[in-house]
Structure 1
């Protein structure tokens, strides 16, 4: 049985098409590259959600390919900040409503500015945590 998340409910409400994909969760390996391995997908199509806090705009969300790292300096510029840093993992649920390994840029407690890596344009579909 698939449980609907906030992301699913929001997509349903907006009448946006999506497909849920389940895989066995390994609490020791919650990273997106592991998800790509578990699902047999190209890591470039699996997007991870990273939450930052900027010195000017506050929280901002980055969705980037599993096999990439977030360049904080470049992300600061794109998001309208001089400096950004990753939020502490212990603050993730309080800020977003999601837990580590299951954080989606869709359906967070509040709407934060969200930036999706332009590499997503090369695919018809991408995979992102729901």
Structure 2
């Protein structure tokens, strides 16, 4: 389990520490909100192991979280089918903070204001550990996919185009 400096804690890191779930985190300096591929390069990580967290809204009005490799594109039809929706659309950036508590480029699947149905691309199962946003721009968490599933109820699905 990683211990965090008080100023570095985000909701995601607080929840992981409280649950005693093993993880690593990295804080790094960056300008603006770098793309996931840029983050992977900055940290010297394989982009296939670095996942972005995307928030959508379904035709029903329900919200969903999808995690896919940073170099991939979310297939909206596959995503919708994985949650039993006719269609899903990306949430507008201005709606992200009130909905999740996180900003665009710093959205973590852990510690959101409301627990949303979460799907992770099936390729995550190929790795001992994956990396994703720690809850703010410039903060990344690395942990085993199985450990992520201990704190965020999730299912794996084919989600990429």
SS at match of 2:26: coil
Superposition RMSD on alpha carbons, in Å? 1.2
Residue 23 of structure 1: how far off its partner (Å): 1.9
TM-score, scaled to structure 2: 0.77
Q: Which residue of 2 aligns with 1:11?
A: 16
Q: Does 2:74 align with 1:73?
A: no
SS of residue paired to 1:21: strand
> What is the aligned partner in structure 2 of residue 110 from structure 1?
114
Larger strand share, 1 or 2 = 2
2:90 matches 1:86? yes
Q: What's the counterpart of residue 64 of structure 2?
A: 60
Aligned positions, number: 129
1:77-128 superposed Cα distances (whole Å, 9 cap, x missing partner): 0011001000001111111000111100000000000111110011100001
Question: For the residues of structure 2 that align with 1:92 and 1:112, how far apart are their CA atoms?
Answer: 13
Q: Which runs of 5+ in 1 are unaligned?
A: none
Specify whether residues 92 and 53 from structure 1 end up closer, same or farther in structure 2 by C-alpha distance, changes over 3 A only: same
Supply the distance in 2 between the matched residues of 1:5 and 1:32 (Cα, whole angstroms).
19
TM-superposed deviation, 1:25: 1.8
Q: Which runs of 4+ in 1 moved over 6 A?
A: none
Query: In the alignment, what sits opposite 1:36?
Result: 40
Aligned residue number for residue 126 of structure 1: 130
Q: Secondary structure at the match of 1:63?
A: strand
> How far is the alpha carbon of 1:26 from its aligned partner?
2.0
